[in-house]
A = this chain, B = another copy of it.
């Protein structure tokens, strides 16, 4: 009897300690859960040719092999594997246009939502995107579609103050916040879907919720 109690006791000790050790190891070894990155602008000027053609030895006068806010932004967008939803007020930056064209060739589904007035300004890349067959919708309301966010593969949010212009990248003081925190990404996905449907030329007379879901996410986890 005593031996049984002792054996059971030691068995429980061993099991309990093993579970504790297993839980600790799991916490230590599991891959990172959430990505957070903040980029500030103006970005240093540097050649970004290697991002598009890694083997190319560029001869331009800009510094080479330098990681900048802009090169990191380009790489984050270029990481798209299946879809890219772009909601941008002003789009005239040719490198960012080149990123979208490269993704289009790779077969990524791209949707671009922009402001109608700013789509027509000199230097706008919206026409180039349309010519390449990228699906673009313009918000034609008299107010500004002032967003500057992107959702990569439905899981990574890139948002901030930065319009996709040369002056925003090279001159202005700007910020870009990148995260894959689901509680932050999900509301932007929902808002993109709502605005995309709202600006569907074929559905102009259909019932689409005209108002944003004002408080989309409010979570403590």
Residue ranges of A at the interface with B (Cβ–Cβ < 8 Å):
2, 5-6, 9-10, 12-13, 16-17, 19-20, 31-44, 67-69, 72, 89, 139, 143-149, 159-162, 167-168, 171-175, 177, 179, 181, 183-184, 187-188, 191, 195, 211-221
Contacts and interface: CB of A to CB of B under 8 A. Distances in A.
A13 B15 CA distance: 9
29 contacts: A2-B2, A6-B9, A9-B9, A32-B221, A34-B221, A35-B219, A37-B219, A38-B187, A38-B188, A39-B214, A40-B191, A43-B214, A44-B211, A67-B215, A69-B215, A72-B214, A89-B161, A143-B167, A143-B171, A143-B172, A143-B173, A145-B173, A146-B161, A146-B168, A146-B173, A146-B174, A159-B160, A159-B177, A161-B161
Nearest to A170: B143
B173 A148 contact: no
| A interface secondary structure, majority | mixed
Contacts of A16: 13, 16-17, 20
Contact of A175 (B19, B67, B149): B149
Contacts of A221: 32-34, 36
Copies of this subunit: 2
Closest 10 CB pairs of A and B: A32-B220, A40-B212, A38-B187, A9-B9, A36-B183, A16-B16, A143-B171, A69-B214, A144-B172, A146-B172
Contact of A220 (B35, B39, B217): B35
Nearest to A2: B2
A109 to B, nearest CB: 22
A42 B144 CA distance: 10
A1 B189 CA distance: 66
